[in-house]
Structure 1
């Protein structure tokens, strides 16, 4: 697993995880910045990572990043919305 990264110019967060063969594959989220709020438009995992828990780990990294940076997350993506709803310990980052 690589470190969580924010590519500001591309408005994309991403993190790489090893697949079953050990190759790094990506989970990413596209966002729109509105001041200190990040509107999460879409979260997607590489097909080889689906069902492995990588997207959930990515979302945890995203929520922890938001908390550390003083950001709020406004999920439009249904996956991000559901993940945040299922993890009330991150309610403070939902805006």
Structure 2
């Protein structure tokens, strides 16, 4: 299974979208920008048709990689991302509290 990611941002809001090869539906992780180098991830959404395929986990890993590559930190208000971050102490360089 191949997952391709896209990114959309308008004003202080944005989202990362996971497009799964061969699937019409996509997953998303939405955020609000606090500053040029800090975002709040507030929601992860994966439709039922993609459940169990690792789409949410792939989004979490992707946003952490983006944060490292682009030099921003993430405040994980989304319960899913918070749970993922708790399982990955190695993400502490980019996962921060308010």
TM-score range, shorter chain: 0.7 to 0.9
Contact 2:29 2:59 in 1 (8 A): no
TM-score by length of 1: 0.86
Which of the pair is proportionally richer in helix?
A: 1
Question: In structure 1, how many angstroms separate the alpha carbons of the residues matched to 2:49 and 2:9?
Answer: 26
In structure 2, runs of 5+ residues without a counterpart are none
Contact 2:4 2:20 in 1 (8 A): no
Shift of 1:12: 1.3
Shift of 1:91: 1.3
1:5-84 matches, cutoff 5 A: 5-9=6-10, 11-18=14-21, 22-35=22-35, 36-84=37-85
In structure 1, runs of 5+ residues without a counterpart are none
Shift of 1:2: 4.5
Contact 1:4 1:62 in 2 (8 A): no
TM-score by length of 2: 0.84
Count of residue pairs the alignment pairs up: 92
Question: In structure 2, how many angstroms separate the alpha carbons of the residues matched to 1:71 and 1:60?
Answer: 14
Question: In structure 2, how many angstroms separate the alpha carbons of the residues matched to 1:82 and 1:49?
Answer: 19
RMSD between superposed Cα atoms in Å: 1.5
